C-alpha cells in the first residue's frame, strides 16, 4: 500500500508539472479565483521561503535517506491506514520533488497569494507528515 500511494503521488506530481510546462509560460499566472487562488508557473530553486537555494545534492540525499529509513523500518511500522498512507505520501512527495536534483529547480504552480507557491509533491509531504504525527499523537501511549 505504501508503494502504491507513493507512485500515485509521484505520477500526479510529475504529470501536473509536465502539463503546466506544456501549457504555460514561465511566470504566467491564471486566476482561478481572482485575488485568492491562481495557477502560477514558477521554477523554485530553493526550499520553502528561499532556504537552501541551489543545494541540489542535499535534496537528493534527503530523498534517498528517507527511502532507506523506510526500507529498514517498514516491517516495524504499524499496519494502520494513517501510517501507511502517511509514509506513502511522504515518500511520493520526496521523490516527486527530487526532480530538483535533475533540473536544479522544481515546478510550482498552486498559488494562494498568502503562501509560497507549491505543487502536488509538497501537498503529499505535508499531508504525509500530518498523518504520521496524528497517528503518533493518538496511538503512542497505547
Instruction: Please list the active-site residues.
Output: 108, 122
Q: Which residues of 34-65 are buried (b: 16+ CB within 10 A; e: fewer)?
A: eeeebbbbbebbebeeeeeeebbeebeebbee
Angular region, 16: left φ>0, alpha ψ -120 to 50, beta rest: alpha
Q: Which residues on neighbouring strands pair with residue 43, listed in sequence order?
A: 107
Amino acid at each position: 500500500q505504501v508503494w502504491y500511494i507513493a507512485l500515485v503521488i509521484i505520477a500526479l506530481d510529475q504529470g501536473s508539472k509536465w502539463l503546466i510546462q506544456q501549457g504555460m509560460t514561465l511566470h504566467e499566472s491564471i486566476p482561478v479565483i481572482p485575488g485568492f487562488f491562481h495557477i502560477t508557473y514558477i521554477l523554485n530553486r530553493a526550499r520553502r521561503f528561499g532556504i537552501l537555494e541551489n543545494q541540489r545534492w542535499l535534496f537528493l540525499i534527503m530523498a534517498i535517506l528517507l527511502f532507506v529509513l523506510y526500507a529498514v523500518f517498514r516491517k516495524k511500522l504499524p499496519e494502520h491506514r494513517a501510517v501507511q498512507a502517511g509514509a506513502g505520501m511522504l515518500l511520493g512527495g520526496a521523490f516527486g520533488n527530487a526532480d530538483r536534483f535533475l533540473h536544479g529547480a522544481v515546478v510550482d504552480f498552486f498559488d494562494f497569494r498568502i503562501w509560497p507557491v507549491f505543487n502536488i509533491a509538497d501537498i503529499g509531504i505535508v499531508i504525509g507528515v500530518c498523518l504520521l504525527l496524528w497517528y503518533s499523537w493518538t496511538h503512542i501511549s497505547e
